[in-house]
Amino acid sequence: SKPAPNDQQFDYGPGITNNSSSGLNPATGPAGAWNGGNTVTISGINFGTSPSVTFNGNPATVVQPVTDKQINVIVPPRTGTMSGNQTVPVVVTTAGGQSDGGPAYTYPAPPAPTVSSVTPNTGPVTGTVTPPVTISGSNFFTAPGTQVTVSFGGRAATNVTVVSATTITCSVPQGAMPGRVEVQVIVFGAQSAANANDGYTYTP
């Protein structure tokens, strides 16, 4: 039978299970997924067949098939702060509306850089511009917006170029005095730990 004239047809909006362990699985990304790219399963209701999903307002890739109660998505790259853990809202949107008040997702902190060698590892206390020094190590991220700085005994290097995730070149700043100093790389606020292989020796 036809509905009465005053009857209304409702599209009920989606809802994510409001429990971080069941609404989002996982609710915290694995160590290597500090910038997304991992898969998360979202559980809830009224997802329909063509939902869209955002993490902190950034579109995630929805993996088909979708059920009314479950969506698999690929987490998008993080935005905003790149240092430390980042906890963001997850929103599902359908023809019926948007989810509200569901659990948040946490991007893990980027791993700290490491320095394994400095070549050459000696030079005049006045500093050197050319040839540049090559720093080898790991976690020298090259993604757009990456903030990488290098210091020699606490003094900032210049002409810093991130060649790859394992190689940086830079000019050596003037030293305070002759002697050995630590060469440290800072990425997103995380600093490489001092070790026996990251030294540079200023000569008179």
Compute mean pLDDT per 10 residues along the chain, 204 residues long, and list them.
39 70 87 91 93 95 93 92 89 91 89 95 92 94 77 96 94 96 92 96 96
84, part of any domain: yes
How high is the pLDDT of residue 131? 85
Task: Please name the residues in contact with 3: beta carbons below 8 A apart, sequence gap of 6 or more.
Answer: 9
Residue 126: CATH number of its domain:
2.60.40.10
Same domain, 131 and 194: yes
Measured distance CA(198)–CA(137) in Å, rounded: 9
Measured distance CA(53)–CA(28) in Å, rounded: 17
Three-state secondary-structure class, residue 157: coil
73, part of any domain: yes
Same domain, 128 and 178: yes
Same domain, 19 and 101: yes
Same domain, 118 and 158: yes
The amino acid occupying position 63 is: V
Same domain, 144 and 84: no
Same domain, 80 and 102: yes
Total number of domains constituting the chain: 2
Task: Please name the residues in contact with 131: beta carbons below 8 A apart, sequence gap of 6 or more.
Answer: none
Residue 100's domain comprises 15-107
How high is the pLDDT of residue 101? 78
How high is the pLDDT of residue 1? 39
3, part of any domain: no
